[in-house]
């Protein structure tokens, strides 16, 4: 008689002679070492068809093990799909780009908070009268000398400049369903758009 059971590691059906019950053997599919049960635990509806691996030299498999041919669809549906190389590259570039975009947002937030603090300390926005162009110029000069305002802005521009091409490369590799690359491009694109708008308003104000 024979003992039929499933490998605890890969869930493949295995059959051995009952004389090997209780002994240690290696699965012919994944080489997982296990103890052979003393009675069959096999269920035909959960069987998986696969081809055993060739036993390596010095293997711990002392029992003669064979695979039972069964319907594979259920097991194949449980296997996670391996993404193609282009998809893996898109995920990698998209992840790095998204990190750069989030760092750019963080540093930009620090710069905005610092600008608000400088403006509040100046007292020019708390008076009933609106600030004059001279007041705005003085405030801009104060911000330009503050390292906690200039430093985060430079850092944000750097990370956005790095993240934008990473997001574009990610979208080129896998344009469908690539939320990392798309999010990176949106964040970095809006960052540079705001920078250009702010620069334009500054030029108009000077004029």
Are 202 and 109 part of one and the same domain? yes
Residue 110 to residue 103: CA distance in whole angstroms: 11
Are 152 and 167 part of one and the same domain? yes
List the single range of 65-69, 145-149, 160-164 with lowest mean pLDDT.
65-69
pLDDT of residue 120: 81
Are 96 and 193 part of one and the same domain? yes
Are 103 and 61 part of one and the same domain? no
Report, as an integer, the average pLDDT of 77-100. Answer: 80
pLDDT digits (tens, 9 = 90+) for 16-66: 888 888 888 888 888 888 888 888 877 665 554 444 455 544 444 444 444
Q: Give residue 132's domain range.
A: 85-206
Helical axes 147-173 vs 133-145, angle rounded to 10°: 80
Are 106 and 71 part of one and the same domain? no
Which domain-ending residue is among 78, 95, 128? 78
Which domain-ending residue is among 32, 61, 78? 78
Q: How many CB atoms lie within 10 A of CB 11?
A: 17
pLDDT of residue 45: 56
154 three-class SS? helix
Closest to 124 measured CA to CA, from 110, 111, 138: 138
Residue 92 pLDDT more than 60? yes
Residue 71 pLDDT more than 60? no
How many domains are there within the chain?
Answer: 2
Q: Which of 56-70, 80-94, 139-153 has the highest mean pLDDT?
A: 139-153
Are 191 and 107 part of one and the same domain? yes
Which domain-ending residue is among 28, 44, 78? 78
């Amino acid at each position: 008689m024979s003992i039929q059971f499933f490998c605890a590691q890969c869930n493949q059906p295995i059959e051995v002679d009952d004389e090997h019950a209780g002994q240690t053997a290696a699965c012919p599919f994944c080489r997982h070492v296990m103890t052979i049960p003393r009675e069959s635990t096999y269920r035909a509806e959960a069987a998986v068809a696969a081809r055993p691996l060739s036993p390596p030299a010095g293997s711990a498999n002392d029992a003669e093990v064979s695979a039972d041919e069964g319907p594979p669809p259920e097991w194949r549906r449980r296997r996670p799909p391996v993404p193609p190389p282009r998809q893996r590259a898109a995920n990698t570039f998209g992840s790095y780009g998204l990190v750069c975009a989030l760092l750019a947002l963080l540093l930009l937030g620090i710069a905005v908070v610092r600008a608000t603090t400088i403006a509040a300390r100046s007292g020019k926005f708390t008076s009933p009268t609106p600030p004059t162009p001279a007041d705005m110029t003085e405030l801009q000069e104060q911000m330009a000398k503050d390292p906690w305002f200039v430093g985060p802005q430079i850092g944000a521009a750097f990370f956005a400049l790095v993240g934008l091409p990473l997001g574009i490369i990610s979208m080129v590799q896998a344009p469908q369903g690539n939320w990392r690359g798309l999010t990176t491009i949106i964040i970095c694109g809006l960052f540079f758009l705001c920078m250009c708008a702010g620069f334009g308003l500054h030029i108009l104000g000077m004029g």
